[in-house]
Chain A
Amino acid sequence: MPDQAQLLPGTLDLLILKAVSLGPLHGYGVLLRISQITGQALLVEQGALYPALFRLVRQGLLKASWGVSENNRRAKFYELTAAGRKRFREETESWNRLATAMTAALASRAEEV
């Protein structure tokens, strides 16, 4: 297994929203999707996912419904709500601003100051 980075606090929700924005997923599917889109670079604790999903449903960003998975098993599928889509856009923008700022800050050299 390649070196995996710890998730920054608060980033799990954004990753979940991103994963689900690509199409409805069940819980295990969310894990697989995150691992796929991050190139297995980020470690998501399997169990930590469910309280997060639960929280996002409570906040009205996701909606859940029971269905049948590709393995022909019963599973709970999550998809974005309108509020979830809006929040995802906002969070993405704010993350991009933060990341740009952080990257710029970390790349600065002594003579540029």
Chain B
Amino acid sequence: MKFLAYVRSLLMKFFHSSQLVQEMDEELRSHIEHRADDLVRSGLSRADAERRARIELGSREHYKEESVRILGGNWLVVMQQDVRIAWRMLRRSPGFTLVAIITLALAIGANAVVFSILNALVLRPVNVPDGARIYQIEQAQDHIPSQSYADYADLRDRNKSFDGLALHGIDKAGLDVNGTPVPAWIYEASSNYFDALSLQPFLGRFFHASDEHGPNSVPYLVLSYSYWQNHFHGDPEAVGRVVRVNNSTCTILGVAPKGFRGTEVFFSPDFWMPIVNTESAETLKGRGTRGFWIVGRLKTGVTPAQATDDLNGIAAQLTKMYPGDDDGLKFGLARPGLLGNMLGGPVHAFVMGLMLLAALILLAACANLGSLFSARAADRWREVSLRLALGSSRGRILRQLLTEALMVSLGGAAAGAAGSILLLRELGVWQPIPDIPINVPLAADGSTYTMALLLALFSGLLFGLIPVRQVMKANPYQGIKSAVGVTAGMRRFTLRDLLLAVQIALCAVLVTSSLVAVRGMVRSLRSSFGFDPHNTLQADTDLGMSGYKGDQVPVMQRKLLDALRNIPGVTAAGFANRIPLNIGWSESDVYRDSTTDYRASNKATEAVEYAVSPGYFEAAATTVLAGRSFTWADTKKVPFVAVVNAEFARRVFGTAQTPLGRWFKMWGGKRVQVVGIVEDGKYKTLSEDPQPAIFLSIQQSPSDDTWFLVRGEHGTQQLAQNLQRTLNGLNTGLPFVISTWDRELGTALFAARAASLALGVLGSLGAMLAVTGIFGLGAYTVSKRMRELGIRVALGAQKKQVLRAALGRVIRLLAIGSAAGLALGLAATRLLSYIVYQATPRDPLVLVGVVLAMALLGLVATWIPARRALMADPMILLRDD
């Protein structure tokens, strides 16, 4: 309570002090009048008397200040004065202030943005009650989150460590509300999903484990809040409506809570459906069908290590019971949100790397501002000396300088935070891949602002304290006598020089990493994809969405393909169950023909698997190296055939022999004959190493998922319209998503593009800071040494010598800093190789690029100081300042 009283009295004083000052003014005025009355009586005129009275009284301001100080250590009032003086000082040098604020705004803004990304991707737990106790179960050997439903059911029933385990997977479904099915992205989930995550519905109810009685027994769906808002206009009547999903009846049970979008950060589903209704009974029974993710809430008191032991106890039982599918099964725990450690690992590393770079940029900015402030403090040497001589305390002067620094840093932070709010808002709604609800929910929140404020205080103190030593050493007598101020520091390397060198090194690190990233991007764009995306359209659909089943599917697919081939201008067309470098892929274990025990440890390799139609390779422009591509004769009636890529041939059959006509086994013993070999390509990501791939005949392994590739001879614009018209004309009731293949590739390029963009932005920030830093020091040095340069010119120095004298030190710092930064940058690019294709620092172009870039920066930054140095005139010696 005492403290509160103190605060209240402080505030009272603060707010009443203006009234006090006014009263004091009045009293002093009354004094002058009384004195003047006396003087008038002694014979002076009224005007003279008042003037004399005022002079006798002396500085009224001083007495007022004195009185205010008596009010008792009123730091609020003193601070108000400091702020007022600082404001005046900063306004007097607007260029300096503007440069300082912009520098800090960029640096603090960059930190706030990167921190918000870090917060969204790494720090924030899953958005469910007590999200910190939610863990994802991954395959321990290769940190892959995919699990089978059968294994899940065993884990769910036998574990003793979790309060409920939930399974979910991403799927595409056709949702038919009023006659036409529209494609939607959904989570297929175990029926205990919402209960395991302890969620309550926003509207209606959720499905529960008790609703489930075997396959297709839970025909319910739960809408996500945003889908309900956007597609049902937030109509509460939507709950209870009967709709059709993939052509079977389904009831809308409820709406999920606002802001809940599943446990994966990137993916925002349209609705949730029980997996027993979306997947076939065979899929759910297959232990090898690993396409789902498991999350669960750890029981209180159970550590992650105990839970892992518990799970692996079950894994050992499963391995014993199902040696074929569960051979070597081992579980581990991972943080949910980014597909466990699969995406989480590289994303964490990259975001942490970005955070580190951003922090370095802020440090560089502080170093920069520190040297600017200490240069300014040196220029204010006279002012400081004068104030000391007039009796100001050093503490008061320091406080004044710190107030200035903090005001600049707070201004910078405010501008930076405002910029980052705008940027984050843009990024938060950005959907990098068309048609797929993938984005990162970013928004500036309390933590962003706190971060900006803390950084402002930290950096303000940091660069504000740099000139302190100078002030402490100040000797008033010296300062007033000599106009030039301190020149002693010009000979040795000072703290300021060190700061600049560090900053140049940081800039070189950033330039190096962004160049490496950009080179990697270019290289990955130029590298062979194993197909040619230009002039090609893709149209994808799912025949299951409109209720086509069994034998109807291939018939319909063939009919569609024939129609597409007849479009004028189409040179080739084909279809597949999925296309390379898109979202998701499927892999199968491959065994040699001689293998009879099909456990995972006996496999020859693991290959990406596609089912394609005749004409697919022509449409994709994939070169067939040997053998043949598929024909309509490759049906279920003839032996299973496959076209493999060159890498597959090398791994399974060895390079020496040509594998045409030879056999291998997959899917637990199915024999497959190789009929053709195609070139290697990229399948999962652009930065992958060569992968073995198998192409099967889609007639032998049919699929509802259908991706048509249509290659045209001239451009894709006209073709897209024709394609749309043709597909509409067939009246299939199928939803199609048509786009160019080039555009769709954005998916695969996304990570590399985002990384290059981020590095590029940070790199240019760093470069800007280095330029202002070099410029600041160069300009300052030259202006301090104009007299000396004048003497040199008078003694016959040539232009080159003048320049060396004026800027030699700056250039030396630039060289040292760049070399150090280049070395560091090359070491740091190891991290980049996760994301950017073949990010190698040992690239002569990168080395040359960095050296050129740094030289260019140096040239730009020293241009004006150099011109000024060359204008040094001996005449200056005759003038006195």
Contacts and interface: CB of A to CB of B under 8 A. Distances in A.
Contact of B67 (A26, A50, A69, A73): A50
A76 B58 contact: no
Given A45-B58, A55-B70, A58-B71, A50 B24 contact: yes
A46 B52 CA distance: 13
B812 interface: no
Interface in A27-68: 27-29, 45-48, 50-51, 54-55, 58
A46 B30 contact: no
B59 interface: yes
A81 B278 CA distance: 92
Given A45-B58, A47-B58, A47-B62, A58 B70 contact: yes
A27 B70 contact: no
Interface stretch (B31-39, B558-566, B834-842): B31-39
B750 interface: no
Interface in B56-113: 56-60, 62-63, 66-67, 70-72
Contact of B28 (A50, A55, A71): A50
A73 B37 CA distance: 10
B30 A26 contact: yes
B27 interface: yes
Contacts of A74: 26, 30
A54 to B, nearest CB: 4
Given A71-B34, A73-B30, A76-B30, A51 B70 contact: yes
Contacts of B66: 51
Given A51-B63, A58-B71, A46 B58 contact: yes
B751 to A, nearest CB: 69
A75 interface: yes
B35 A28 contact: yes
A46 B70 contact: no
Contact of B27 (A29, A58, A76): A76
Interface string B34-55: 1101000000000000000000
Nearest to B27: A76
A58 to B, nearest CB: 6
Contacts of A55: 67, 70
Contacts of B58: 45-47
A71 B56 contact: no
Contacts of A28: 30-31, 34-35
A51 B59 CA distance: 13
Given A46-B57, A47-B58, A54 B31 contact: no
Interface string B862-876: 000000000000000
Give the one of B30, B37, B56 with max A CB within 10 A: B30
A54 B70 contact: yes
Contact of B63 (A29, A47, A76): A47
Contacts of A54: 24, 67, 70
A16 to B, nearest CB: 14
Nearest to A56: B70
A83 to B, nearest CB: 17
Nearest to A71: B37
Interface string B722-761: 0000000000000000000000000000000000000000
A74 B28 CA distance: 11
Contacts of B28: 50
B713 to A, nearest CB: 96
B65 to A, nearest CB: 9
A51 B27 CA distance: 12
A75 B34 contact: yes
B34 A46 contact: no
Nearest to B20: A54
Given A46-B58, A50-B24, A51-B63, A27 B31 contact: yes
Given A45-B58, A50-B24, A71-B37, A27 B30 contact: yes
A54 B28 CA distance: 12
Contacts of B27: 27, 50, 75-76
Contacts of A76: 23, 26-27, 30
B34 A73 contact: yes
Nearest to B34: A28
B21 to A, nearest CB: 11
Contacts of B30: 26-28, 69, 73-76
Interface string A74-111: 11100000000000000000000000000000000000
Nearest to B23: A76
B33 A73 contact: yes
A54 B26 CA distance: 14
B33 A46 contact: no
A73 B36 CA distance: 12
A50 B63 CA distance: 7
B776 to A, nearest CB: 44
A73 B58 CA distance: 22
A52 B66 CA distance: 10
Contacts of B63: 47-48, 50-51
A113 B879 CA distance: 69
A108 B24 CA distance: 48
A48 B66 CA distance: 9
A55 B69 CA distance: 10
A39 to B, nearest CB: 18
A47 B58 CA distance: 7
A101 B30 CA distance: 41
Interface in B463-488: none
Nearest to B71: A58
A55 B68 CA distance: 10
Contacts of B33: 71, 73
Contacts of B34: 26, 28-29, 69, 71, 73, 75
A31 to B, nearest CB: 8
A46 B56 contact: yes
A111 B30 CA distance: 57
Contact of B59 (A27, A29, A47): A47
A51 B67 CA distance: 5
A46 B31 contact: yes
A47 B60 contact: yes
The winner among B26, B27, B56 for most chain A CB atoms within 10 A is B27
Nearest to A29: B34
A46 B60 CA distance: 10
A84 B71 CA distance: 19
A26 B30 CA distance: 9
Contacts of B70: 51, 54-55, 58
A75 B23 CA distance: 11
A47 B57 contact: yes
A67 to B, nearest CB: 11
A28 B10 CA distance: 31
Contacts of A58: 70-72
Most buried by B among A46, A73, A75: A46
B376 to A, nearest CB: 34
A85 to B, nearest CB: 22
A111 to B, nearest CB: 47
30 contacts: A26-B30, A26-B34, A28-B30, A28-B31, A28-B34, A29-B34, A46-B31, A46-B57, A47-B58, A47-B60, A50-B24, A50-B27, A50-B28, A50-B31, A50-B63, A51-B63, A54-B24, A54-B67, A54-B70, A58-B70, A58-B71, A71-B33, A71-B34, A73-B30, A73-B33, A73-B34, A73-B37, A74-B26, A75-B27, A76-B30
Interface of B: 23-24, 26-28, 30-31, 33-35, 37, 56-60, 62-63, 66-67, 70-72
Given A27-B31, A69-B30, A73-B34, 14 more contacts: A28-B31, A28-B35, A29-B34, A46-B58, A47-B62, A50-B27, A50-B28, A51-B70, A55-B70, A58-B70, A58-B72, A73-B33, A74-B30, A75-B34
State the 9 A-B residue pairs at the shortest beta-carbon distance, nearest first.
A28-B34, A51-B66, A54-B67, A47-B63, A47-B58, A75-B30, A28-B31, A76-B27, A51-B67
Interface of A: 26-29, 45-48, 50-51, 54-55, 58, 69, 71, 73-76
